[in-house]
Amino acid sequence: MASSKVSRRRFVAGTATLSTAMVAAPFVRGAYAAGKLSVGLWDHWVPGANKASEEIIKAWADKEKVDVTIDYITSQGNKILLTSAAEAQAKSGHDILAISTWLPSRYADLLVPMNDVMDQLIKQNGAVNSTVEYLGKIDGKWIAVPATIGSQIKGPCSRIDYLKQFAGIDIQAMYPAGAPPKADDWTFDTFMKAAEACHKGGHSFGIGCGTTSDSVDSAGAFFHGFGAHLVDAKGNITVKSDNVRKALDFYKRLMSFLPPDVPAWDDASNNKWLVSGKGAMIMNPPSAWSVAKRDAPQVAEQLWTHGFPKGPAGRYAPFLPYFWGTWKFSKNQSAAKSLLLALSQPAAVEQLVAASGGYDLPSFSKLTTFKIWAEEAPPKGTLYHYPNPYDAQVLSIAAAPAPHKIGEQIYTQAIMTQMVVRHAKGEAMEKTLDWATREIEGFSRN
Amino acid sequence: MADIAARSPTVSMGDNRSSLHKLMQRKSTIAFLMALPLILLVLILVAYPAGYAVYLATLNKGMTRFVGFGNFEFLFGRETFWMVVYQSCLFAITAVIFKAIIGFVVAHFVHNIPSKGQRKWRGMLLVPWVIPPAMSTLAWLWLFDPSYSAINWILAHFGIAGIPWTGETDWARFSVILVNVWIGSPFFMIMYLAALKSVPEQLYEAASIDGATWWQRIWFVTLPMMRNIIAITALFSLIVTFANFDIVRVLTAGGPLNSTHIFGTWAFRVGIEGGDIPLGAAVSLFMVPILAVAATFILRDITKRGSEV
């Protein structure tokens, strides 16, 4: 057997060549030559929606020769939240994991920067809105990729007939299918008058004031509409401002036209309120409409999803994006990035949106005009304005622009809705503001 | 039995082997080995998580540096924390008192049912206790639903206005305690029933001869005979109720205005949902001194019972 001595110079040259080859061409042909990848996605509530993501991932895996396993993790009982917490603690888990709105900042130190992926996607699919940037880009670095699956706008979903009958508003004319909105008159004042008229007509608006995300998101958009921020971008507490006072007074009046039990509502309550035929409007993605289509078609025929009313500081709508992130301890980061790119290709995104019945929303500006939103019915065009196709409203998140660690606490502890309920139940304005200030001071600790 | 094994003859094969053999034949060694699987389970599933929780509670919010008792000091200055302490005590103490009273009364009723039909009643009364609490609480959630409460629907038929079961502070607290009492009373009932059956009938006969009324029979015969079991059941239940999570989480999620949060649910809100794991760990650890006092009472009572026997 011939033997040859390997010099130090030759060894270094050899390993360098091998390393270069591995980095440049990670997905060489051969059965699962590019290794394994585990993916944890949000388990979609729409029957059959998981199938679309499964097909996209399988097609990518076959092409790239990667052995992929997918876990669909439910958000029921906070399971997906607990999964991310457990994986972060254990420093072990999925190579790609779906993480909810505030988690990119929470796990910024543990997630792989995605600038290369996002630069490519933004170039291809258009810019992302400022809320996605606020939540997903930390200290100039993209920490996660905005996911199509699960991302949603929680704008108004209204009863066409009730708004016409009680408030004299033709919401379809204001937000016509296939055309830009004509909503200059759709202001907080008009909204309040409509809320009062529908309440008197026995069909109140159903806007929750509980501690779950639907309630918090609505409050956040109204607060933004008044320019009312509890904490500014530098972390200064700005609770005691005129804008916050105006927002609280607005909500106090609004609550007198809402069902009396809204402080106890959860994320299912508003859906039930609309599907039962009692409500004239809720703030929700089209899930309530979707359920109505199945269970109460006569209600679904009268539903129209449209833009938020405009406040003194602008027209803001709540946007709740999901993200896909890759842990730094992932063993196959290059394959993960490749899959994230594949999942955000326009054709893949359209497939995901179609499978969700129009519920899922991409965060990129060029991907808001898929035909499904124009064609979904009844009534035809009911979802046309859902993805904000004309950029007619600012997509926002409650508690922004506070530094993330404070904003997340304001959001999860529902400080805004708690302020609203306290004040509406008769607590003096200054006392409510003092309470909120003390709570937020506690969130500011490091 | 271990005694038999200890007397079995040994074969002399060197000192070391002989001493090992002797060690393995000792009753305490055998007992330890038999208990070892359980000890390992307790270490893995109880001791390690508890130790880890203590470690987490000593870190700062970003989990990057040691802050000692900093999280506890911070909690002492928080208004919401003291509200949670008050609510946890209110929830646990009120629920245990009602569970004990209802369990005691129902146990007497069941005890007086002729033995032929007693088994059916015992089975039926245990149903709330054997259903997983998260499931039964979900049913209660529907009964208390803010907009579509079945109970309110019935009340409306009698012209009574709907009750905001989970929407107003006092009603929400009442609701979570009610569900806990509903779930927990059968446990008290079955424990008290077992104790009642062990009270010698002669004592009641003697009391009757002495002309004791039903109240005197309960006060001077039944209660003293059940004293130990009442204490142990109440204290055991106190521990479990303090550490409750599912009922509040499913029914009110701590609302309205944080007025039904207890240690477990608030720790989850702060630690997992809010991303402040060290503070969440500190909140949950605050249960330890309270539960330790209860546990001390239990152990003391058990020892006392043991010495009486």
Query: What pLDDT is attached to residue A8?
Result: 54
**Distant-in-sequence contacts of B202-205, Cβ < 8 A, 24+ apart:** none
Query: Is a pLDDT exceeding 90 seen at residue B74?
Result: yes
Can you give the pLDDT at residue A31? 53
Integer Cα distance of B282 and B77 in angstroms? 13
Mean pLDDT computed over A133-162 = 96
- Picking from A85, A259, A442, the nearest residue to B78 by CB comes out as A442
What is the predicted pLDDT for the residue at A173? 97
B143: exposed, middle or buried (Cβ count in 10 Å: 0-12, 13-18, 19+) = middle
Tell me the C-alpha distance between A98 and A93, whole Å. 12
CB contact, 8 Å: B169 with chain A?
A: no
**Which candidate, B175, B111, B104, places its Cα nearest to that of B137?**
B175
> What is the Cα–Cα distance from A297 to A308, expressed in whole angstroms?
25
Ranges of each domain in chain B? 2-57, 76-308
**Torsion angle in degrees (nearest 10) through CA of A32, A38, A41, A46:** 50
Query: CA of A254: how far to CAs of A205, A266, A317, in Å?
Result: 9, 18, 17
- Token pair 């607005």: residue: A250
Q: Is the pLDDT of residue A142 over 60?
A: yes
The angle, 0 to 180 degrees and rounded to 10, between the axes of the packed helices B133-143 and B169-197 is: 130
Instruction: Please check whether residue B82 touches A, CB under 8 A.
Output: no
Best of A81, A261, A431 to disrupt the B interface by mutation (most B CBs within 10 Å)? A261
Residue range A240-261: mean pLDDT, rounded: 96
pLDDT for residue A10: 58
In this structure, the dihedral spanned by the alpha carbons of residues A231, A236, A239 and A243, taken in order and rounded to 10 degrees, is -70
Tokens of A274: 């609309």
Backbone φ and ψ for B79, nearest 5 degrees, come out as: -60, -45
For residue A15, what are the contacts with CB-CB under 8 A and spacing of at least 6?
none
From the list B78, B165, B256, the residue facing A263 with the nearest CB is B256
Q: Tell me whether residues B172 and A442 touch, CB distance under 8 A.
A: no
Check whether A20 has a pLDDT greater than 50.
no
pLDDT at B232 over 90: no
| Band (B134; pLDDT cuts 50, 70, 90) | confident
Interface of A with B (CB under 8 A): 78, 81-82, 85, 89, 102-103, 106, 210-212, 259-266, 269, 272-273, 276, 278, 405, 408-409, 412-413, 418, 421-422, 435, 438-439, 442, 445-446
What band does B305 get if pLDDT is binned at 50, 70 and 90?
low
Tell me how far apart the terminal alpha carbons of chain A are, to the nearest angstrom.
65
- Give the nearest partner residue to B164 out of A106, A264, A408, using CB atoms: A264
Contact B254 A211 (CB under 8 A): yes
- Confidence class for position B20, pLDDT limits 50, 70, 90: confident
Question: Which residues, including other chains, have CB under 8 Å from residue B201's CB and lie 6 or more apart?
Answer: none
Q: Choose among A211, A422, A446: nearest Cβ to B253.
A: A211
Tokens of B4: 């038999």
- pLDDT band for position A376 (50/70/90)? very high
Residue A187 is classified by DSSP as: B
Give the pLDDT score at A14: 54
Among A421, A445, A446, beta carbon nearest to B257: A421
pLDDT of A295 > 70? The answer is yes
Q: What pLDDT, in 10s, does the model give residues B28-49?
A: 888 899 999 999 999 999 999 9
**What CATH homologous superfamily does B76-308 map to?**
MetI-like (1.10.3720.10)
Q: How far, in Å, CA of B212 to CA of A403, rounded?
A: 73
Select the highest-mean-pLDDT range: A335-349, B10-24, B62-76: A335-349
pLDDT in the model for residue B15: 65
For A359, phi and psi rounded to 5 degrees?
-70, -45
- A298-331 burial, b at 16+ Cβ within 10 Å, e below that, comes to ebbebbbbbbbbbbebebbbbbbbbbbbbbeebe
CB contact under 8 A, A445 and B252: no
Average pLDDT over chain B, rounded to an integer: 88
B86 CA to chain A: closest CA distance, Å? 18
> pLDDT digits over A210-248, tens only?
999 999 999 999 999 999 999 999 999 999 999 999 999
The backbone torsions φ and ψ at residue A91, rounded to the nearest 5 degrees and listed phi first, read: 55, 45
User: Which domains, ranges and CATH numbers included, belong to chain A?
Assistant: 33-152+321-372 (3.40.190.10), 154-319+376-443 (3.40.190.10)
A106 to chain B, closest Cα gap in Å: 7
How sure is the predictor about A103, in pLDDT bands with cuts at 50, 70 and 90? very high
The DSSP 8-state label assigned to residue A281 in this structure reads E
Lowest-pLDDT choice from A124-128, A189-193, A320-324, B19-23: B19-23
Average pLDDT on B187-206 reads 92
What does pLDDT average to over chain A?
Answer: 92
